[in-house]
Copies of this chain bind each other. A is one copy, B any other.
């Protein structure tokens, strides 16, 4: 099967996820700058979640760019990824309403960890379908970056029970690592095409 509809559907779901999160930004009651102060941490966590979902979209874009075709298993591996991403707004909202308390911060990290795991599974499913010597397989390689970020998520979740803000800082570090999109794939495909 061609990959176009999988891309279009994923674009649609991620577009809705990234946009409905902003509905959590409740309008403050006052009309002065001081009334915006309590919105600041909510805004920052919205920014963090926006960046995370944006990273997934970017990497998904790169991954599918190197993909030639998809099958039924790949469709479900992709829906599995979208499922965990769809829980990001809920996890963000719970974290916000409890001033970054341990359990909500740990749940937020768990959703990110499970989304990361789902992305890893999707990449493996696609690589298996395309064969060891495909452009996709060579472009992704051993995928140390994914493994390291999954381990870092786990560490951050444990850290949340000691200090919620420290865990959030560690999440932000992972975001920065991934901020540069999957340039391995970009570079590899370019080299192949030239």
Interface residues of A (CB under 8 A from B): 1-2, 5-9, 11-20, 22-23, 25, 27-29, 31-33, 36, 47, 50, 54, 57-58, 61-62, 64-65, 71-72, 75-76, 79, 82-83, 86-87, 89-90, 93-94, 97-98, 101-104, 107, 179-181, 183, 186
Contacts and interface: CB of A to CB of B under 8 A. Distances in A.
Given A25-B90, A72-B181, A183-B72, A16 B14 contact: no
A72 B181 CA distance: 6
A99 to B, nearest CB: 8
Contacts of A5: 7, 11, 61, 64
Interface of chain A, helix or strand or loop or mixed?
Answer: helix
B90 A76 contact: no
A22 B90 contact: yes
Contact of A61 (B75, B89, B181): B75
Copies of this chain: 4
Nearest to A2: B65
Nearest to A79: B54
Nearest to A7: B5
B11 A9 contact: yes
Q: Which 5 A-B pairs have the closest CB atoms?
A: A12-B15, A31-B98, A31-B101, A16-B19, A72-B181
A75 B83 CA distance: 23
B8 A93 contact: no
Contacts of A104: 31
A1 B83 CA distance: 27
A28 B94 contact: yes
Contacts of A94: 27-28, 31
Given A1-B186, A97-B27, A58 B86 contact: no
A72 B186 contact: yes
